[in-house]
Amino acid sequence: MALILFVLPTPFLLQRLRDISCKKSAEMTRLYSQVRWLGQHNAGLVLQSVDANTKMTDLEARRQALEEELARTADERDVQRAAAEQKAQEAEAQTAELQRTRTAFELKEAELQHKEAELQFKEAQL
């Protein structure tokens, strides 16, 4: 048969066990306090992250709206530019037509002056 020895704890061992238990209890209290602080800090970080994500979503929507407005403005500008170029071409065509008309008028005036001079010459001869 096997002999089983039971050692009765001595006062020294009991005190040692109490000291270890006290140290472990203090360690657990410190760790629970740390865990509680980390949990609160984590909750604060989660709220900051949610706030940052909300702001990013708002900024993205604003950016999209600005890009759409810029595209509309560019389209309007292009339409206005095309209309202005068309009017400039029409004005150039009108200017050219006026110049042709003026030149024709000046030629007719010179021709009339020449005929008038001829008539005056013929009247003077009569």
**End-to-end distance of the chain based on CA atoms, in angstroms?**
177
Q: Is there a domain that residue 65 lies in? A: yes
Q: Is there a domain that residue 95 lies in? A: yes
The domain tally of the chain equals 1
d(Cα 24, Cα 1) in Å, to the nearest integer? 39
pLDDT in tens, 34-82: 999 999 999 999 999 999 999 999 999 999 999 999 999 999 999 999 9
pLDDT in tens, 12-34: 888 999 999 999 999 999 999 99
Q: Is there a domain that residue 42 lies in? A: yes
The contacts found for 31-40 with CB under 8 angstroms, 24 or more apart, are: none
Q: Is there a domain that residue 96 lies in? A: yes
pLDDT in tens, 102-124: 999 999 999 999 989 888 888 88
Q: Is there a domain that residue 100 lies in? A: yes
